[in-house]
Amino acid sequence: MAAKSKWFVLCQFLFCVFLCCESLYQGFGHYKRHQIRQNDNTSYDYKTAYFEQKVDHYGFANDDTYKQRYLIADQFWDKNGGPIFFYTGNEGDITWFCNNTGFMWELAPKLKALLVFAEHRYYGTSLPYGPDAVKDPKKLQYLTSEQALADFAILIQELKANEPGAQSSKVIAFGGSYGGMLAAWLRIKYPNVVDGSLAASAPIWSFIGQIPCEAQLQVVTNSFKRESQTCIKNIRKSWGIINTMGATDSGRARLSTSFDLCALLNTSADTDALKSWLVDIMFNLAMVDYPYPASFLEPLPGWPIKAVCKPLSTEVMDGVPLIQALSSAVKVYYNYTGQAKCLNVNQNAVGSLGDQLWGYQACTEMVMPSCSNGVTDMFEPTTYNFSLVSDACFKQFKIRPRKSWVITEYLGKNLKTASNIIFSNGLLDPWSSGGVLKSMSSSLPVIIIPNGAHHVDLRSSNPGDTPDITKARQTEEYIIQRWVKGDNS
Ligand SMILES: *[C@@H]1O[C@H](CO)[C@@H](O)[C@H](O)[C@H]1NC(C)=O
Ligand SMILES: *[C@@H]1O[C@H](CO)[C@@H](O)[C@H](O)[C@H]1NC(C)=O
Ligand SMILES: *[C@@H]1O[C@H](CO)[C@@H](O)[C@H](O)[C@H]1NC(C)=O
Ligand SMILES: *[C@@H]1O[C@H](CO)[C@@H](O)[C@H](O)[C@H]1NC(C)=O
Ligand SMILES: *[C@@H]1O[C@H](CO)[C@@H](O)[C@H](O)[C@H]1NC(C)=O
């Protein structure tokens, strides 16, 4: 996230959302069928439905409504008491999360569960005030985690009231990342509605003052270090070389050709953009360092950091040869498919609507700082300046962040009143730095996945999974099964 929306760059995949508008369905029972074909050729069948929600759950003056999309799959469900598995949608198109949450699809037949994937308001096709809301702070003000949680709680209650057989079903919430925070918070705020939650890679303690701002990039460095010490030495050294080259026209021209950039670097601001693009790539690589080929953010080989570090691991280099090696490394990320004609430094920049909307959330409630020291991490030293962030937010959205509101609203580090939440974290993932890594009570189990990247446990099982990944899913299954049986001890 840092200065830009470094969080999940996944929103870049969501361009099509507003072009392919499905006709809107309302209420229960009017469904459109879809099929997802997974890598293993298992086909996942679901239906799409819409539910009319109040735009404002907390005030009584605004009676506007919008249609919230959700996906529902009942083919595994035992209508005679089977549980409901409810995915708390995060900042993007819900079909994308549905496609990337194979664990729920694998668990549903075992526990005879009804699957529901609910879209987060203001994303995908669940749009209060339409796509133009982003231009108007008054229309965007209902984009908060509190409103989204209220949507989820109400949708669950409506499903239980209206789906024959669901009245006494246990409800288990699942979520990853921001969605994992929502799954945890849903159980914290609505224990009357949700019986237990799996919060995967949920950085609920990434807010200001909860962890040092260096923590995220420290994890990124560790994830590279485990592949090669030389790799991180070269990366640490490259910033100075980029700065020197970036100071002259000829140096910038050389940088541009070395990285095969689509647009020539003309100014020192362009050089800064190149550096933050490189930091974003390294951050993202640590998030998606899965043991098998995957295309979560970009199509990548298994253990992508190993592949990225390869050209940077033979010896400590200098000058243009180092920049060339760094360029080869970066192309593992952006040219694994061999399709890239040139590399675009603005590829991740805030542009698509989904990114802008996450940017808005980062400018209101989700204030998660990032910085680096250049000593224990492999990055250039950078500070975190809240006023700078606040000014940028005001410029873009006419609002300013409230830096500790989330800590007040969702218990902060004092989780003693919370129960039945599994916190799972992969230690390769930079977001693990803000995760719950030590169990605080027997009803808040913690699962650590040393070889795990960002919510790897929510993905489909894969022959390439390391034993710790497989074991995490088994433990989760065991605990969820106990919750479903009503055994909370
Ligand atoms: C999936 O189906 C395709 C086409 O039928 C086949 O070529 C491929 O080997 C199958 N993959 C698996 C993992 O079974
Ligand atoms: C989900 O998977 C289906 C089938 O593979 C694909 O057609 C669809 O585009 C995917 N949706 C997203 C948002 O990735
Ligand atoms: C640099 O200037 C050239 C020529 O005006 C332009 O095409 C290119 O887009 C500029 N580069 C950047 C990064 O803005
Ligand atoms: C991407 O890979 C292909 C195939 O190896 C290569 O022809 C192309 O030049 C590469 N693109 C860039 C920008 O390096
Ligand atoms: C933080 O940014 C503000 C501009 O909003 C600036 O005035 C201030 O000097 C900066 N503080 C530090 C410590 O750099």
387 lines ligand 5 (CB under 6 A): yes
Q: Which ligand 1 atom lies nearest to the CA of residue 40?
A: 13
Residue nearest to atom 6 of ligand 2 (CA): 36
388 lines ligand 5 (CB under 6 A): yes
Q: Are 222 and 450 in contact (CB under 8 A)?
A: no
449-475: average pLDDT: 97
What is the structure's pLDDT at 99?
87
pLDDT tens digits, 369-420? 999 999 999 999 999 999 999 999 999 999 999 999 999 999 999 999 999 9
Q: Which of 259, 335, 337 to mutate to test the pocket of ligand 4 (most atoms within 8 A of CB)?
A: 335
3-class secondary structure for 262-287?
Answer: CCCCCCHHHHHHHHHHHHHHHHHHHH
Residue nearest to atom 14 of ligand 5 (CA): 385
- Paired tokens of 351: 């542009």
316 lines ligand 4 (CB under 6 A): no
Which is it for strands 43-54 and 65-73: parallel, antiparallel or unpaired? Answer: antiparallel
Residue 11 pLDDT grade (very low, low, confident, very high; cuts 50, 70, 90): very low
Q: What's the CA-to-centroid distance between 388 and ligand 5, angstroms?
A: 6
40 is catalytic: no
How far apart, in whole angstroms, are the C-alpha atoms of residue 368 and residue 365?
Answer: 9
pLDDT tens digits, 34-58? 655 555 545 689 999 999 999 999 9
Q: Are 147 and 370 in contact (CB under 8 A)?
A: no
- Paired tokens of 112: 């005879």
**Bridge partners (DSSP) listed for residue 422:** 198
What is the structure's pLDDT at 12?
28
Q: What's the CA-to-centroid distance between 71 and ligand 2, angstroms?
A: 13
DSSP string, 198-256: EEET--TT-STTTS-TTHHHHHHHHHHHTT-HHHHHHHHHHHHHHHHHHTSHHHHHHHH
313 is catalytic: no
**CA 487, chain centre distance (Å):** 31
470 lines ligand 4 (CB under 6 A): no
Bigger pLDDT: 407 vs 1: 407
Side chain identity at 352, as an amino acid letter? Answer: S
Asked if residue 65 has pLDDT above 90, the reply is yes
Question: Three-state SS for 257?
Answer: helix
Rounded to a whole number of angstroms, the CA Rg of the chain reads 22
300-316: average pLDDT: 97
41 lines ligand 1 (CB under 6 A): yes
Of 74, 377, 429, 457, which is the active-site residue? 429
Homologous superfamily of the 3-16+212-356 domain (CATH): Serine carboxypeptidase S28, SKS domain (1.20.120.980)
Mean pLDDT value across the chain: 90
pTM exceeding 0.85: yes
Residue nearest to atom 9 of ligand 3 (CA): 263
Residue nearest to atom 6 of ligand 4 (CA): 338
CB atoms closer than 10 angstroms to residue 3: 17
Domain with CATH 1.20.120.980 in the chain: 3-16+212-356
Residue 189 pLDDT grade (very low, low, confident, very high; cuts 50, 70, 90): very high
Q: What's the CA-to-centroid distance between 262 and ligand 3, angstroms?
A: 9
Helices H / strands E in the chain, number of each: 15, 9
pLDDT tens digits, 230-266? 999 999 999 999 999 999 999 999 999 999 999 999 9
454 is catalytic: yes
How far apart, in whole angstroms, are the C-alpha atoms of residue 160 and residue 14?
Answer: 31
Residue nearest to atom 4 of ligand 5 (CA): 388
40 lines ligand 1 (CB under 6 A): yes
Phi, psi of 54 (to 5 degrees): -70, 140
Domain with CATH 3.40.50.1820 in the chain: 32-208+408-484
Asked if residue 1 has pLDDT above 60, the reply is no
pLDDT tens digits, 85-100? 999 999 999 999 998 8
318 lines ligand 5 (CB under 6 A): no
Q: What's the CA-to-centroid distance between 46 and ligand 5, angstroms?
A: 50
How far apart, in whole angstroms, are the C-alpha atoms of residue 472 and residue 458?
Answer: 10
Of 145, 169, 177, 197, which is the active-site residue? 177
Q: Are 246 and 274 in contact (CB under 8 A)?
A: yes
What is the structure's pLDDT at 450?
98
Q: Are 308 and 234 in contact (CB under 8 A)?
A: no
- Looking at the structure, give the CATH architecture of the domain made up of residues 32-208+408-484: 3-Layer(aba) Sandwich (3.40)
What is the structure's pLDDT at 33?
56
What is the structure's pLDDT at 10?
30
Rounded (5°) CA angle 312-316-321? 65
Which is it for strands 196-200 and 114-118: parallel, antiparallel or unpaired? Answer: unpaired
Phi, psi of 63 (to 5 degrees): -100, 10
